[in-house]
Amino acid sequence: MKLFLNNITYHNCPVDVREKVSFGEVQRQLMLRKMRTDAAIIEAVILETCNRVEFYVYAKKTFNCIQFLAELIRQVKPQAVDAWDKYSQESDGLDVVRHLFEVAAGLDSQMIGENQILSQVKSAYAESVDCKMSKFLFHRLFHCAFRAGKAVRTDTNINCGAVSIALAAVELAKDKMDLSAATAMVIGAGENAELVARYLIKAGLSDLMIANRSIARAKAVTLRLKKGKATGLKGLGEKLTEVDLVISSTSAAKPLITYKAAENVLKHRKKPLLIIDIAVPRDIDPDIARCKRVRLYNIDDLKEQIGICTERRKREIPKARAIIDEFTNKFADWLNSLNVVPVISGLTKNGINLARNEAKRYAKDFGKNNSRKLELFAEKLVNKVLHGPISFLKRNGNGELIAEQLDAAEMMNKMFLIQDKND
C-alpha cells in the first residue's frame, strides 16, 4: 500500500485558475463515493480551501493516482480538467505525512500560522468519515495532524499578529479608508464571513450589512455580533449604492455581482467603492474593476498585506518544523511497527520468552529430567496459539498489510508487544 497526495495550491496556481478547480460539497462527496467503488483505493480525503485543492489517497502501490483523478475530475467537472492537468503535483509516502502536518500547523498557508486551516482539515476528515472513506490508517494520520497543528500553535509564536485571510482583508480596508465613517456589506454568513464582520466591528466600523442567500442565517450572524442588519442576495448590485466597502466570502459557484447587473448603479456613484473579494471561486465579476469609482481586490492581492505579518512569524518556522519532524518520525515509527516482519518477530520472540519463563517456573514440579521436555511443550503450545494470528498476518504474502490486517497488527502490538515493553 502507498500514500499519495495530488494537489494544486496558491504556491504555483493563480486564483483565476484555482476557481476553475473548485468543488462544492455535493461534488466532493460524489467523488469520495466513486473512489470507494475502486478496489485499488482503501482510504481518501479531499481537502478544499480558498488556497488549495488536495486529494489524500491510500491505495495499492501500483495505483496510477494521477490518471485516476484526472478521469474522476473529468466526470464530475469537465471544465476543470485542463487546469488540473497543468498545475497539479503529486507526492507520496512520508512526504505526504509531513505535508499534511505542515498544512494543519499553518506552515503551508498563504498567511503562515493562520488558525482557520486546522478546522478546515478537520471538516475534510469528517466529510471523508461520513462517506466511509477514512478507516484505520487515516484515522491515525489525521488525528496526528490535529495534534501536530495544536502543538505548533501552543509551543511557538507562529500565529502572532494577523492570523487569517479575513483579518488581512480588514487590514487592507483599514489602509484604504476610514472605517469609522464607512458602511460595509459583508457577503456571506459562513465562518470566514463572520470573522470579517467581527474584525470590521473591532476596527471601529460605523455601519454593517450582512448579505446572504439565507436571510435567517444572515440575521443569526447579526444577533451574535449584536450589530448590523441582514439582507438577502436579491438585487445585490443595487445595494452597492448603500455602502462604501464590500468584502465577500461565500462558496457560490458563480459571481454574485456581475458587471452587467452593477454597471448602471456604479456609473452614477460619486464616492469610491472598495471591494475585497476573498472567495474562490470569486464572488465579484472581475470586469467590475473597469468602473471608475471602484477599487477591486481579490485574494491574491492580499499577499503584500500578509507579508507584513509573515516576517515576524518566519523566526518561528525552524521551531515549528522541529515539532513537525517529531510528529512525522513518530508516525513513521508507528507505521513501520505494523510491518509483517517486525510484528511476527515480536510476537514469536515474546511468546517463546513467555513459554521458557513459565517452564522454568514449574520445572521443579516435573523433576530435573523433564525440564527440557516441559520447555519444548510450552514453546510448541505458544507456537500453536500464535499460528492463527501469524497466518492471518502472512495472508497477503508480499510483506504488506491490508486494512483488516493493520487493525489486527495494531491490536496485537497493544496486547502483547507495547504492554511487554512497559512492564
Say how far apart CA 71 and CA 406 lie, in whole Å: 30
160 a catalytic residue: no
**What is the dihedral sign for C-alpha 48, 49, 53, 54?**
negative
SS3 of residue 53 by DSSP: strand
Report strand pairing: 245-248 vs 273-277. Answer: parallel
What distances in angstroms separate CA 294 from CA 41, 207, 269, 305, one per listed residue?
A: 49, 20, 9, 20
Sign of CA dihedral 13, 15, 20, 26: positive
Edge-to-edge strands, sheet with 2-9: 41-49, 52-59, 2-9, 89-92
Give rounded-to-5 percent helix, strand, coil for the chain: 60, 15, 25
The phi, psi pair for 213, rounded to 5°, reads -60, -40
How many C-beta atoms surround the C-beta of residue 59 within 10 A?
21
Asked if 276 and 173 touch (Cβ cutoff 8 Å), the reply is yes
Distance between CA 359 and CA 347 in Å, rounded? 18
Among 16, 4, 105, 11, which residue's Cα sits nearest to residue 52?
A: 11
| Grid coordinates of 140 | 491515525
User: b/e map of 377-387 (b: 16 or more CB within 10 Å)?
Assistant: ebbeebeeebe
Measure the CA–CA gap between 198 and 247, rounded to whole angstroms.
12
Query: From the candidates 50, 144, 291, 309, which is the catalytic residue?
Result: 50
C-alpha cell at 87: 498545475
- 200-230 burial by CB neighbour count: b if 16+ within 10 A, else e? bbebebeebbbbbeebebbbbbbeebebbeb
Preceding omega of 342 cis (within 30 degrees of 0): no
Residues 6+ apart with CB under 8 A from 11: none
How far apart are alpha carbons 209 and 200 in whole angstroms?
Answer: 11
Active site (catalytic) residues: 50
